[in-house]
Amino acid sequence: MTSTQASIIQKIREQTVSPLRGSVLEIGAGNGENFPYLSKSVVLTALEPDAKRCRKLAERGRIQGIPTTILQGKCENIPMPDNSVDAVISTFALCSVDDPERAMSEIMRALRPGCAVHFVEHIAAPQRTFIHALQRLLAPMSRRFNHGCDPLADTQRHFITAGFSLEDLQRREFSGIPMISGRAVCPK
């Protein structure tokens, strides 16, 4: 990734997470790439399936001065009470869930009514395009060697099927790969 590309991704992350306040759950928190953009008023729960990354997350939270609870686990089984968070963050994470329907159900369960998932996700390119063919070719390797990432994920459809309403949806391409960002609002 070039420095220009990294800068663009950083700006998108900042726009997605900096407005958040209150109790926030980040799914697939990775190495804490979103932490620098979070308000100090956020009380963060970081959910991450990888044990090594969980250790890094704890350190990153301390460095950033954000009260952070680290939970090792998958989005398909969020170990939190119903209606317990004001927002969920997902940046390049929903492509990695094993069971998207179950993950969406769990996210909706954890969110307070009327609250939202703030997301940035890559998605499958339109069918019969070169990029889609490339994504299809790389998908088995990506799923195996890139933390389960499915480059053919249809996150927008999963949100809609689960009953979320999409707001502020933006589509863009990043090095030819289509991405969407916005808010998926939980019903009241």
**Helix 155-162, helix 100-110: angle, nearest 10:** 50
pLDDT tens for each residue of 60-93: 888 888 889 999 999 999 999 999 999 999 999 9
Instruction: Summarize the confidence of residues 49-57 as an average pLDDT.
Output: 89
pLDDT tens for each residue of 21-33: 999 999 999 989 9
| Cα(177)–Cα(165) distance, integer angstroms | 24
Dihedral sign of CA atoms 76, 78, 84, 86 in order: negative
Phi, psi for 107 (deg, rounded to 5): -60, -45
Name the residue with higher pLDDT: 1 or 142: 142
pTM of the model: 0.90
